Amino acid sequence: MTNVDDLARLLVPPPGEDVIIRDARILRWNPTTFENVIEYEGIRLENVDVGAGAAIEALTYQPGDLVQLELRFTGGKKGELGIGDVAIRGRRITPGTGAAEKAVAFMQSSLAKSLSAQIFAERLLISTTTDPAIFTSGTGGHVEHPEGASAAARITGVQISETGRAWVVLGTTMAWTSDGNGAVAGFVGTLITGATTVEPFGQQRGGAGAGGPAPNGNWAGANSHVFEGLNPGVHTFEARYTVNMLATNASVTFGTTTLIVVPF
């Protein structure tokens, strides 16, 4: 086998340039380790490096594929012989030859599906609590979930990217009783703290709730909301409850509450 400097007799970079691109053909390729044999103008190169931009595409390379080599000449040798580095830049795609189909084949492979599922699973953050949150009122009024109560589903350490977005799904079960002399309502919302602060109620975003004038009732439901404009950085997402009891001797109990956060 020959080393990369053997290419010097065939390649002379244009004056003032130290990088040139040439076509080569794959003779042997291991899609797992990327071990390879590449041929250019009769010169065989063994285990040529794969450029970072071609690493994913390289999973689908096969013998016979035409690829582009990026050859970098050592500093101070612009316009002279001598090559400092050579790497596979990517597959050469000629329209209508099937090369384009090969280039996107990885995205349709079982490995790509497995990787995408793993990536999504890592960004799917879930917190569920079954501890009941019970609110009572002898005189009626508005009560919010107390700070730090154990019943709140909570997800800490959520990293928000430069997109400033997070998809939140929040659901709960609720039961209420009263003497029937007024309406009773309950609601669960999303409190966001950290790099950004978003109050859980107000516009009642990212949550759900129900109620009514009946003395007794049960409800279960969920809602979703895409929060936008969040600051990049670490956040905490937490379920918070609020109740509005116009009836006397009223009670509202929140049961299982699930909070799902997907930053994207």
Instruction: Read off the CATH number of the domain in which 75 is found.
Output: 2.30.30.140
Give CA–CA dist 74/84, Å, rounded. 5
Q: Are residues 34 and 108 in the same domain?
A: yes
Mean pLDDT of the residues in the chain: 78
Q: pLDDT per residue over 65-77, tens digit each?
A: 889 888 876 654 5
Q: Which residue has the higher pLDDT, 19 or 236?
A: 236
Residue 52's contacts (CB-CB under 8 Å, 6 or more residues apart) are none
Neighbours of 248 (CB within 10 A): 14
Residue 78's pLDDT band, with cuts at 50, 70 and 90, is very low
List the CATH number of the domain containing 239: 2.60.120
Q: Are residues 205 and 111 in the same domain?
A: no
Q: Are residues 129 and 162 in the same domain?
A: yes
Domain ranges, residue 82: 4-119
Question: What's the whole-model pTM score?
Answer: 0.58
Highest mean pLDDT among 42-51, 100-109, 158-167: 158-167
Q: How far is CA 167 from the centre of its chain?
A: 11
Q: Are residues 115 and 37 in the same domain?
A: yes
Q: Are residues 214 and 239 in the same domain?
A: yes
Residue 98's pLDDT band, with cuts at 50, 70 and 90, is low
Asked if residue 190 lies in contact with residue 200, where contact means CB atoms within 8 angstroms, the answer is yes
What's the domain count of the chain? 2
Q: Are residues 184 and 110 in the same domain?
A: no
Categorise residue 141: left if φ over 0, alpha if ψ from -120 to 50, beta otherwise. Answer: left
Give CA–CA dist 82/75, Å, rounded. 10
Q: pLDDT per residue over 112-159, tens digit each?
A: 666 666 766 778 999 999 988 888 875 445 566 554 455 679 999 999
Q: Are residues 82 and 154 in the same domain?
A: no
Q: What is the mean pLDDT of residues 76-101?
A: 66
Highest mean pLDDT among 54-68, 140-154, 167-181: 167-181
Q: Are residues 82 and 129 in the same domain?
A: no
Given a cut of 50, is residue 34 above it in pLDDT? yes
Q: Of 85, 119, 153, which residue sits at a domain end?
A: 119
Give CA–CA dist 96/122, Å, rounded. 38
Q: Are residues 57 and 115 in the same domain?
A: yes
Q: What is the mean pLDDT of residues 13-32?
A: 78
Q: Are residues 80 and 162 in the same domain?
A: no
